[in-house]
Structure 1
Amino acid sequence: MFSYSNIVEDLVIERLINSNGEHIPVIITGDACECEDLEKCIKELGGVVKHKLPIINAVAAYIPPVGVRSVAREKTINKVHFDDMVFKLMDVASVTVASDYANEHGLTGKGVTVAVVDTGVHPHSDLTTPNNRIIGFVDFVDKKTTPYDDDGHGTHVAGIVAGNGFSSQGKYMGIAPDANIVGVKVLNKDGGGNISDVIAGIQWVIDNKQRYNIKVMTLSLGTKAKVSYREDPLCQAVDKAASHGITVVVAAGNSGPEASTINSPAISPNTIAVGACNDRTAKIPSDCKIADFSSRGPTPDGLKKPDILAPGVNINSLSNKGNGYHSLSGTSMATPIVAGCAALLYENNGNLTPAQVKRMMTESCVNLGYGSEVQGAGLLDIKDIMNRSNISPQPPRKVPQDRQQSSKGIFSIFDGWFFVILIVILILIL
């Protein structure tokens, strides 16, 4: 019955079999046609177009079951994918992260923009004070125009990348505390969303790369990998971003410790796939243990993933409630640590390619003693990256040993004059 199964993804066929006539969400990629041709075809079949996705020459649409069968027979159609759900990649629980060495030597991500493709970004004071570093925002869920985050996941991620610790007096500071953030909301208040919304968000990032100087895109989200990265629409989208000079950092997934659990789009070789380790009880970096939930390779193509590890257990970062903080765990939390590191590298050299950034990171790791399909190259080591990459750090910034004492001296002068003036006023009154 389904002789066109090589064109239609298995999940779509499953929906057809169990369909009661309702429209099916799909992503249709074209071969020898443009998006406008696909759009016209879908409308003629009674479908509704959701997104045009030119970066992968596709459209996302809702089409009736009979339309799926008809569109699959079109010679210009390459593949009919199910527009599946993607989810934030988060476990539960808390840790502070630091990049003191790089920050103290002058690398803070200044002038570099990181796109956070997630649940949104709340205007927390650590991102808006003293200067508002949320320089762009787009919402593919509710179409709002001002920054917000009704889930909190994206705000937590943004804080790990670029929080400056304003509300915690520097205690909870991100990796690149002077970097700019662009919020791209593709996940709803429950932390879920469709693949097509994520692709539309990635397309927006590519289109606005020059406008905002976007060098890095971080995606702490994913969906189960079902096919080769060459056929996966989400992977095709991140590959296009990489080809436009954007370093794409992606969460490996929280489906460990089983093998072959790397999520899409982390299965793409053109991403930096990040797994999570636990550094809470480690005295030195080499004592860190892989987080049990961190997904393992290989990928459907037999590629060794993840690419790298970063701390992802009990990470303290920004809350979407006021200007507070809270802790979360997951490869979602490890991913922005690596994204923040990429921002530091781009601040030092804005002409780096995504491949060069990835190589610099994977060549500078601490071996934790696991296989490459568990730890990748190992634990991220920012200091070693700086040393290996011939980065000429500035001398450590000199901070007064006792700022409070200095300010106290200033106020004591005014306190003395205050009492003199007060006495003069009392004498005049009396």
Structure 2
Amino acid sequence: MQRVRNMTGANLPVGTDGRGVTVAVLDTGMSMHPDLLGRPVCFRDFVGHRNLIYDNNGHGTHVCGILCGSGRMSSGRYRGIAPGARLVVGKVLDEKGDGSTEIMIEGMDWILEVKRKYEIRILNISVGIGSLEEPMKENALHEKIEELWRNGILVVCAAGNKGPGEGTISSVGGVKVLTVGCHDGSYAVDNPSRCSLYSGRGIAGSPVRKPDLVAPGTDIISCNLNGAGGFGRGRNRNAYVAKSGTSMATPVVSGAAALALQKYPDMSNEECRQKLLYTATDLGLPWNQQGWGMVNVERLLN
């Protein structure tokens, strides 16, 4: 995360931390990791229907750490992009990271239901969904995402990890959302498993240009599911874990959006989207690979 902050210009003055902004996350849940204490204001389990906050996979915990972890267990080194932001977390994926369209839509309906109560401004979906075999389900999912957007929520979705072929953007990333691909700039150029090699790509020359942005996503160190054991000496040994993919790039952009909405609280979701796009750093890559470029937090806020 220290590398990510350096690459995206997110080493910011004290107080620029997303405070006052609520971000919803639909994922595998969230564990009670020390870096995430105090972040969640609401949790709902659509899979196991439990009452306690939990994550039996680890993906959601990692995503939440990238977004708004405090970095407490690492003296700030692995803190998230917007460590002051609040979380509303919906568990829509099981212990294997699998889910259904119906549960995802149920989670989105819940976000709409509690939007006003918790002042939700952003929805992070670090879930790559391929082309659904049933068009009616895919249409229902797209309609629900568009409803979220019409209700003023900035929906930030992963481009998916089915690249590098054309037209491999995740199903949810192809509609009215901010779609995030994965690229690490000059980092890991010799790494054969770097995320830019499999990040979902749009169709060259298409009038719908996707992804919208890219962010770092290779070997991102963030909160580990098994690191939620406490604060004692030696207890932080397993506090963090490295993961890669567009799932990791997405909360980088959601965190950047939270910082922008903290500074400009009256911005609409569409204005926030445009500001993120127009301030990105052009990497000189084809549009269907990089979109407008790498998210640039420093330029975004200035």
Length-normalised TM-score, structure 2 = 0.88
Counterpart-to-counterpart distance in 1, 2:209 and 2:195: 16
Alignment correspondent of 1:298: 203
Counterpart-to-counterpart distance in 2, 1:356 and 1:277: 24
Alignment correspondent of 1:209: 115
2:164 is equivalent to residue 249 of structure 1: no
2:188 is equivalent to residue 307 of structure 1: no
User: Which of these residues, 81, 87, 104, is aligned with residue 181 of structure 1?
Assistant: 87
Cα shift readout 1:41-87 (whole Å, capped 9, x = no counterpart) = xxxxxxxxxxxxxxxxxxxxxxxxxxxxxxxxxxxxxxxxxxxxxxx
User: Which of these residues, 109, 117, 120, is aligned with residue 18 of structure 2?
Assistant: 109
Alignment correspondent of 1:353: 268
Checking the alignment, whether the CA contact within 8 Å between 2:18 and 2:83 is kept in structure 1 is: yes
* Amino acid in structure 2 at the alignment position of 1:310: A
Checking the alignment, whether the CA contact within 8 Å between 1:290 and 1:375 is kept in structure 2 is: no
The residue correspondences of 1:105-254 to structure 2 (distance < 5 A) are 106-128=15-37, 132-225=38-131, 232-254=139-161
Aligned-partner SS, 1:97: helix
Checking the alignment, whether the CA contact within 8 Å between 1:137 and 1:182 is kept in structure 2 is: yes
Checking the alignment, whether the CA contact within 8 Å between 2:263 and 2:301 is kept in structure 1 is: no
Counterpart-to-counterpart distance in 1, 2:2 and 2:130: 27
Counterpart-to-counterpart distance in 2, 1:167 and 1:347: 25
Aligned-partner SS, 1:232: helix
Counterpart-to-counterpart distance in 1, 2:70 and 2:94: 26
Q: 1:230 to 1:272 in 2, by over 3 A?
A: farther
Counterpart-to-counterpart distance in 1, 2:12 and 2:111: 27
Checking the alignment, whether the CA contact within 8 Å between 2:29 and 2:91 is kept in structure 1 is: yes
2:231 is equivalent to residue 325 of structure 1: no
2:171 is equivalent to residue 264 of structure 1: yes
Alignment correspondent of 2:233: none
Cα shift readout 1:7-29 (whole Å, capped 9, x = no counterpart) = xxxxxxxxxxxxxxxxxxxxxxx
Q: 1:383 to 1:228 in 2, by over 3 A?
A: farther
User: Which of these residues, 324, 338, 363, is aligned with residue 278 of structure 2?
Assistant: 363
Equivalent residue pairs, number:
284
Aligned-partner SS, 2:163: coil
* Amino acid in structure 1 at the alignment position of 2:13: E
Counterpart-to-counterpart distance in 2, 1:372 and 1:109: 29
User: Which of these residues, 367, 382, 386, is aligned with residue 301 of structure 2?
Assistant: 386
* Amino acid in structure 2 at the alignment position of 1:296: R
Q: Which has the larger radius of gyration?
A: 1
Checking the alignment, whether the CA contact within 8 Å between 2:40 and 2:88 is kept in structure 1 is: yes
Q: 1:261 to 1:212 in 2, by over 3 A?
A: same
Q: What value does the CA root-mean-square deviation take over the aligned residues?
A: 2.3
Counterpart-to-counterpart distance in 2, 1:243 and 1:169: 40
Length-normalised TM-score, structure 1 = 0.63
Gapped runs of 5+ residues in structure 2? 229-238
Per the TM alignment, residue 298 of structure 1 is displaced from its structure 2 partner at its CA by 2.5
User: Which of these residues, 332, 341, 344, is aligned with residue 256 of structure 2?
Assistant: 341
Q: 1:233 to 1:161 in 2, by over 3 A?
A: same
Aligned-partner SS, 2:257: helix
Q: 1:378 to 1:290 in 2, by over 3 A?
A: farther
Alignment correspondent of 2:234: none
Counterpart-to-counterpart distance in 1, 2:131 and 2:207: 12
Per the TM alignment, residue 378 of structure 1 is displaced from its structure 2 partner at its CA by 0.6
Counterpart-to-counterpart distance in 1, 2:296 and 2:73: 27
Q: 1:302 to 1:101 in 2, by over 3 A?
A: closer
Per the TM alignment, residue 102 of structure 1 is displaced from its structure 2 partner at its CA by 5.7
* Amino acid in structure 1 at the alignment position of 2:215: A
Per the TM alignment, residue 267 of structure 1 is displaced from its structure 2 partner at its CA by 0.4
Q: 1:95 to 1:315 in 2, by over 3 A?
A: farther
Checking the alignment, whether the CA contact within 8 Å between 2:195 and 2:245 is kept in structure 1 is: no
Aligned-partner SS, 2:42: strand
Counterpart-to-counterpart distance in 1, 2:249 and 2:255: 10
Per the TM alignment, residue 170 of structure 1 is displaced from its structure 2 partner at its CA by 0.5
Aligned-partner SS, 2:145: helix
Identity %: 37
